[in-house]
Chains A and B, each alone.
Chain A
Amino acid sequence: MSTAAVTIASATSPAAISLAGPPLRLSISLALMCLLSTTLLGMGQRDATLPLLAVVVAAASLYLTDYRGWLRLSPRAADVVGVSVYVYALWDFRSMRSDEQLLAMASLLVYMQFVLQFQYKSERTYWLLALLSILQAAVSTALNLQLAFGLLLVAYLFVALGAMTAFFLYREAVDEWPAPPHRRRSVLDFLGPRQPARQRTRAASPIFRERGMTNVAGEIAGRPFAHQILMLSLGTLVLTMVVFVLIPRTPRTPWQQQETGAGLQRTGLSDNVKLGDFGALVEDPASVMRVQFFDYETGEPYTIRSELLFRGMLLTHYDDGAWAQPSAEPDPRRLAPYHAPLGGELVEQHIAIEPLDTEVVCSIYPFRKNQANSQLWYDFANHHLLRVGDAQRTTFSYKLVTTGLRNGRQLPLTPAAGRPSAAASRLPGGRSGEKLSRLRELAVEIVDGIPVEDAYTRAAELEKYMQSVERFSYSLETDEHPVGVDPTEYFLLESRRGHCQYFASALTLMLRSVGIPARMVVGYRGGEWNPIGEFFHVRQLHAHAWVEAYLRPEQIPDDLPMVRRDVGAWYRLDPTPGAGQGGLEDETSSGFPSIQQFVDYLQFIWGHYVVGMDARRQQDGVYMPVVRATTEVASVVGDPQVWIELGRYLLGVVRPSRWHPAGDRWFHWRGALVGMLLAAVVFLSVKLGSRWSSRWRAWRAQRKALRRQLRDPRYAFYRRMEKLLARHRLRRAEAQTQREFADLVARRLAQSGATRDFAHVPHRVATAFYRVRFGDERLDTTELQALESGLVQLEQALATVKNGS
């Protein structure tokens, strides 16, 4: 179709569409969107410079560029600045490591955004800003793991949807994007034209123009718009959750890497611990693990009543203030699930541990593995649990059954797997303890009078000595020990102040010096009880060191609870003052949770179900429950007995005699309820039935009418043309009118030399069809013959083209 005839006239009322420029609200919402995405990026970079700069740029560009129009980079000036920024970023890029290169790329996105923000906001500028913002958000996901990031991402969703929808509404309402208003030349225009060269026009030369314009600014500010955006955002959030949990995760492949910004937290659980390492850790609130306890038999939550000690690793070798593991050659082996009866009170511990700088993971000992977990191993040489493979780099979850709890309290004794190794009795400088003679003397003095065979009392006495706040003080600050003096001995006898490692180290060595095998244990103490999630939240500041002393079977007092008495046991001692046997009744009792606990719980949910979602967790937490629920429902639905019972119940409910149990009452709630339900069901059925029935009837009538029309012999000539063209793959679309189709075909025919002469035929046939169809005319024989002749010629021409090709 040509538009020649109608393009002669000029467009009308240009004043009606003149605009001062995009509404400021639109600019504000987009600036906010950009600001949030830059903040997301800044969080990942752990650097506040970019977000702060973004705030300044957003405010300045809104006022100077969008509102006042004083500062507008011309496109050429923007190009020059953009290229400069790019060159700068590229130069910086060369000397960086790969993870830093990602950050540099992210920064480049922000710089480009800054440049665009100081340009006049054409439609293209808006698109570019939106795209850059989304890209920033995408990059930031690889740099962040925190809950705050997630919350900000949600805020970003709301703002971005609002900004993009406002942008769309404005774009849709205007025929032409407004050109920048005239202003004086400024120094920044020296590089090029003052305004973008071309603005979008919806039509090249529109004949008809809309009179007036919708008040988009008013719509954007209105409540319906806010409500719409709110609903859209909430819906998107729900959908995001569904999509997130349903997207199948695959087992890890070399493609997959942990987020570069994750970083591994430092812990004291390393192969070699040097006294003083804990100093920095005990003040670090970073999350380490979350632990939940369940009764193994019933599956109910298990109430803990005492402070717990989660054992990490054992340290036996001591030399000059440094502790090392029992064996330099680890013997990690996969733990097979153990299903034999254990005896005692069985408690299942569910532990989710964060990525840490060690493979060692913690647990309440003794434990048994009751569930297959290919990434949870045990080092038989050093006696601690390990997570293997890439489990160290993710939030790792595992379940273990323990017998170390009774009535909510941790048992002081742990059954020994065998006799303690010689290392557990060794002192620096040999059995005589030459290097630690003063320490040995003090230990002997403390246990003086207690029989050698009463190892339990001796150990307790030594622990009591260390716990004395009159003698020792707990401090993260430790004094520098003199050269040549053992730091433990210096702590014990001179400075008398230190942290748990010093206390544990001193007690371990004193125990050994009086002939009791002992070892230092490093792990975590306590944790914070979270009543919302019903878990213990263990942080780095809960890192702790304590002592285990070996008691032979005959040395174990009868009043100490112990699962097995036929083997020796390790007796747990905690010499740090203030540590110990504090109860947890107050903490675990159900009170109103604090904000911190609420945030902790959110953090747990975020870390466990969002950041830490992997194939296994998805299998356990999403797919399997769905499969189980489906199976259960299917079994219920497929069981005829269930239906029989349901039928009986319903019959019983609707039996009229039940509606009037008293006989003389005219109204009964059950009868009324059933009546209302039945009425509602009937009403809905009738309503739905009539709606579907009318739709079905209309559909059938339409089809019938169409068929009848097509069968009408008066339209035979048109049918013939459609059939003829259909053979040459020219079919009329449902939405096309006959004339539109004819025009389309005419254009196609005009493209080929063989058919060009017959391009008018379809239009003639369509016009004749319109006359018959809409004008109720009858074509005479001559006209019909002429049409037929044209169709024959067209058919021949098309056949020629087909054969030729």
Chain B
Amino acid sequence: MRRSTLICREGWYYLIVVGFVLAGALLREINLLMVLFGMLIGPFLFSWQLARLSVRDVKVTRRAPRQAAAGQTISIDVELANNKRKAGSWAVVVEDVVYQEAGPEPGSTSTARLCFSHVAGKQKLTRSYEGRLASRGRYRLGPLTASSRFPLGLLRHCVRVDETSTLIVYPRIGHLTRRWNSLRQEAYHGSRQMQRRRGLVEGDFHGLRDWRSGDATRWIHWRTSARQGELMVREFEQHREEDLAVLLDLWQPASPTPHHKQTIENAISFAATILSEQCRRGGSHLLLARTAHKPVISTGSASLALLEVALEGLATAEAFDQDHLPAMLTAALAKVRPRASVVLVSTRAVDLSDTERFVELWQDPRLRRWAGRVICLDASSSDLDAFFRLDQNATTGLRDLSPAETH
């Protein structure tokens, strides 16, 4: 906790006026002007003490959600507890810095401001601020600053609380269109002849989740349900035809234009929307891979946990001017299930038949068979417009999580 006291701009103006009065009083030795000087300098000196007193022994607590979607309205509660026995805290302004640590514009900041006009001794008061973060990314909330300029706004005493919390802002989620469903079905039917159903319907046991309408009663895990007081069902890793791999090629030139940046955001949002849709449906195996110095791959059964991990990765995904696509393809396709549909979303036009560029893909017989099955979508063109559209009031698709309390 760091403290500091500053003279505000109004304070400097005030001091100039007081200085004039003092100079007049001393030069002309007008005693009543000296009285006026005392009456002017008194509030200034008391401001120093009162401002200090207002932020002394106060505890500022922030309650913020852990994650939100870009463009979604978020509300953050700030509680000010005045631990002083009697003295009230007046005109305490709490400022919270929202700083983007990772994302498309790292370093961008915004400040939220809350005013607590009066908090009596031994009392707490909660106020909220709300807003929408337009850009995905990992944000640092804090440090919190509590300051007071009471009573006249001449001096500002400030206490800074260094503890911070993190807010992950997921990419904007849109809606998939019928064209996308058609595309999926085409891909599915195209590969159907090669498929054969195997294993149990339920597949391998994956974990437990809340009961949803339509779940078979035989999936209910009675022991856990009894313990939790609500119905819990077993979740199975299913091996079905809807298995999907989304490969994301985030490339941008060395000097990207706003159009390039927008293309990247669109590609990420599209990928996030697909994942969100798949996870909402459940029952499939998903793989998300994206380009980086070292390819980042997340894979697993469609679930909220996977969606959380995937969206978090997408929230902080960066674009590169190097060509990491071949390496990513090689690493990702090696993990894709044989019957899965593979969609490559790139921020540029990609020609997989380029044997020189994708030399590993074409040299490895196991991977080579994928070359003809990968659906390539170019985000820089209008390819994506046909498959999804962005919604301003989109949500993450995740369950609302209770706000985490941080200081």
- Identify the A interface with B (CB < 8 A): 1-13, 131, 134, 137-138, 141-142, 144-145, 149-150, 153, 157, 161, 164-165, 168-169, 171-173, 175, 202-203, 206-212, 214-216, 219, 222, 224-225, 228-229, 232, 235-237, 239-244, 247, 249-250, 252, 255-257, 259, 610-614, 734-735, 737, 739, 743, 763, 770
Contacts and interface: CB of A to CB of B under 8 A. Distances in A.
A172 B149 contact: yes
Interface of B: 2, 4, 17, 21, 24-43, 45-46, 50, 71, 73, 75-76, 88, 90-91, 93, 96, 98-101, 103-105, 107-118, 120, 127-135, 137, 143, 149-153, 160
A237 B46 CA distance: 11
A153 B39 contact: yes
Contact of A149 (B32, B34, B43, B143): B32
B98 A207 contact: yes
A153 B40 CA distance: 12
14 contacts: A1-B107, A6-B105, A7-B134, A137-B36, A141-B30, A142-B33, A164-B151, A168-B91, A169-B90, A172-B91, A214-B117, A224-B120, A239-B38, A247-B25
A239 B105 contact: no
Main DSSP-derived SS at the B contact region: mixed
Contact of B29 (A12, A229, A256, A739): A256
A286 B50 CA distance: 44
A8 B134 contact: yes
Contacts of B152: 161, 164-165, 168
B32 A610 contact: yes
B89 to A, nearest CB: 11
A149 B36 CA distance: 12
B111 to A, nearest CB: 7
B108 A244 contact: no
Given A173-B117, A210-B129, A228 B88 contact: yes
Nearest to B137: A5
Contacts of A169: 90-91, 117, 150
Contacts of B2: 734-735
Contacts of A203: 111, 113
Contact of A2 (B4, B103, B105, B149): B105
B6 to A, nearest CB: 11
A212 B93 CA distance: 15
B118 A219 contact: yes
A240 B38 CA distance: 4
Contact of A5 (B17, B100, B130, B149): B100
Counting from the closest, the 10 A-B pairs by CB-CB distance are A240-B38, A5-B105, A236-B42, A8-B134, A208-B112, A208-B131, A141-B32, A9-B134, A243-B38, A9-B132
A240 B35 contact: yes
B153 A168 contact: yes
Contact of B108 (A2, A13, A257): A2
Contacts of B40: 134
Contact of A8 (B33, B43, B114, B135): B135
A216 B115 CA distance: 11
Contacts of B36: 137-138, 141, 153
A93 B120 CA distance: 53
B113 to A, nearest CB: 7
A13 B130 contact: yes
Given A138-B24, A208-B96, 11 more contacts: A13-B130, A207-B98, A207-B131, A208-B113, A211-B127, A215-B117, A232-B43, A235-B46, A237-B39, A240-B39, A735-B160
Contact of B132 (A12, A144, A228): A12
B29 A6 contact: no
A208 B98 contact: yes
A741 B88 CA distance: 36
B151 A161 contact: yes
A164 B93 CA distance: 18
B115 A614 contact: no
A647 B142 CA distance: 58
Nearest to A256: B29
Contacts of B39: 153, 157, 236-237, 240
Contacts of B42: 235-237, 239-240, 243
A513 B21 CA distance: 63
A11 B4 contact: no
Nearest to B96: A208
A172 B33 contact: no
Contacts of A232: 43, 46, 50, 151
Contacts of A737: 143
A222 B127 CA distance: 20
A134 to B, nearest CB: 7
Nearest to A156: B39
Nearest to A143: B32
Interface centre among A8, A13, A212, A255 (most CB of B within 10 A): A8
A250 B26 CA distance: 8
A6 B133 contact: yes
Contacts of A3: 108-110
A210 B118 CA distance: 16
Contact of A9 (B41, B71, B90, B112): B71
A735 to B, nearest CB: 6
Contacts of B153: 168, 171-172
A693 B56 CA distance: 20
A240 B35 CA distance: 6
